[in-house]
Amino acid sequence: MLVIERSNSVLSMSPKHKPAAHAKNGDTVVFETFDCFSNQIRSNDQLFSSVGWDKINPATGPLFVEGAAAGDILCVEILDIELDTQGVMAIAPKMGALGEFIEKEVTRVVPLAGGKAKFSDKLSLDVNAMIGVIGTAPKTEDIPTGTPGTHGGNMDNKRIGKGAKVYLPVNVDGGLLAMGDMHAVMGDGEIVICGVEVCGKITVKVDVIKGKKVPLPLVVQGGDLMAIASAQTLDEASRTAVKNLFLFLREELKMSYDEAGMLLSVAADLRTCQIVDPLMTARMEIPLWVLEKYGYKMF
C-alpha cells in the first residue's frame, strides 16, 4: 500500500507543487499527517504564538492520481482514520468568534484513549475523528491550506470522517490531492479556531469520475448528501450551498425549479461548518433516501 509520509507536506494548494507520490485510479493510499500546529505543541506550557503562521495547517501531499484529467471529479473515500494518543487545543486573544473575551493564550493537551477525549476532570467526549483540510489544486492560483474554496481546502466539515466520500474537482491533471488538519472532536462552527487538533494517519481510496458536471465540493456520509460552499460571509456561503444543492437536484434528478426548491425547504438542512477561517463555510444536506425515492443512485 502506498504511504505518503508527513514530511511531504505543503502549506498551499497549488498547481505548481511537485507530486509527493503517484497513484492509479482505484488505489488505496495512506496519508500520514501533522496536526494543524505542525506537531509543535505537545504540552500545556507551549503556546500558539510559539508555532508561527508559517507552520499552521500543513497538508500531506500532493498525490497525483493517474487518469485524472482537468474537468473530472475525484472521489476520495475515507476508509480509516488513526489518531495519536493525545490532541491539543489552543486559544488566544482576538482570535475566533470569542476572541474579544479571551485575555491570554491558553493551551490544553487532551488525552485520547478508549474512544474518548478527556476534555477535563469532569468531562470526556466521544471521539469523532474528522479531516479539516482536504482538497485538490486550483487551476492557476496558490491557495493557502488554511483557506477553503471550490477546490476543498480548510472546510472544517465535521462530517468528513471515516466512511465519508468527498467529491472534489480535478482542475489540473492528476488532481494533486492533499489533506491534514485532523480533529478528534470538533463542534459545528469551530468557534475558537480549533477543535481537538491531532496528528495521525488517513487511509483513503481514490476514484476518478468522468463525464459528470455538478457543483463541488460534495460529501456523502452517514446517509446524507452535502453541498459545501465557502465565502466571505456566512450568509453568502449559506446561500451558495443551498444553490449548489438546488442545481444538483436540477441536473441529476431533472427536477423542475419549483419542485427542487420546495423539496429543499422541507427535506434538507442548512448547517454551519466553520466561522473562523479566512472564508466562512456552510453545508446544505439532504438524506440520500429522499433522492432514492426519485430513483436516483449516487455516482
Each residue's pLDDT tens digit, 247-281: 999 999 999 999 999 999 999 999 999 999 999 99
At residue 196, the pLDDT reads 98
- Is there a single domain that holds both residue 244 and residue 270? yes
Q: Is residue 9 part of a domain?
A: no
Domain with residue 259: its CATH number is 3.10.28.20
- Is there a single domain that holds both residue 187 and residue 124? yes
Q: Is residue 159 part of a domain?
A: yes
Largest CA distance in the chain: 58
Contact criterion met (CB below 8 Å) for 144 and 135: no
Q: Is residue 298 part of a domain?
A: no
pLDDT band at 209, cuts 50/70/90? very high
CA angle (154 as vertex; 151, 157 as ends), nearest 5: 100
At residue 193, the pLDDT reads 94
b/e per residue 26-43 (b: at least 16 CB within 10 A)? ebebbbbbbbbbbbbbee
At residue 106, the pLDDT reads 97
> Which residue, chain included where needed, has cell 493537551?
109
Q: Is residue 2 part of a domain?
A: no
At residue 52, the pLDDT reads 85
- Is there a single domain that holds both residue 112 and residue 50? yes
Q: Is residue 71 part of a domain?
A: yes
- Is there a single domain that holds both residue 80 and residue 183? yes
* Residue where a domain terminates, one of 177, 209, 241: 209
At residue 23, the pLDDT reads 98
Average pLDDT, the chain: 97
- Is there a single domain that holds both residue 150 and residue 200? yes
Q: Does 93 score more than 90 pLDDT? A: yes
Question: What's the domain range around 267?
Answer: 218-292
- Is there a single domain that holds both residue 83 and residue 174? yes
Provide φ and ψ at 168, rounded to 5°: -125, 155
- Is there a single domain that holds both residue 205 and residue 223? no
Tell me the mean pLDDT in the region 58-85. 98
Whether pTM > 0.95 for this model: the answer is yes
Q: Is residue 16 part of a domain?
A: no
Q: Is residue 3 part of a domain?
A: no
Domain with residue 126: its CATH number is 2.60.120.580
- Is there a single domain that holds both residue 150 and residue 278? no
- Is there a single domain that holds both residue 190 and residue 287? no
Give the integer Cα–Cα distance in Å for 273 and 132. 10
| Sign for the pseudo-dihedral over CA of 288, 246, 135, 236 | negative
Give the integer Cα–Cα distance in Å for 36 and 70. 29
- Is there a single domain that holds both residue 180 and residue 232? no
The percentage of residues in the chain with a pLDDT greater than 90, rounded to a whole number, is 98
Q: Is residue 168 part of a domain?
A: yes
* Residue where a domain terminates, one of 172, 188, 209: 209
pLDDT in tens, 100-158: 999 999 999 999 999 999 999 999 999 999 999 999 999 999 999 999 999 999 999 99
Burial of 271 (0-12, 13-18, 19+ CB in 10 A): middle
* Residue where a domain terminates, one of 209, 237, 263: 209
Provide φ and ψ at 272, rounded to 5°: -95, 135
Provide φ and ψ at 254, rounded to 5°: 55, 35
- Is there a single domain that holds both residue 32 and residue 117? yes
Q: Does 226 score more than 90 pLDDT? A: yes
Burial of 101 (0-12, 13-18, 19+ CB in 10 A): exposed
Number of domain units in the chain: 2
At residue 299, the pLDDT reads 85
Give the integer Cα–Cα distance in Å for 257 and 241. 16
pLDDT band at 53, cuts 50/70/90? confident
- Is there a single domain that holds both residue 101 and residue 137? yes
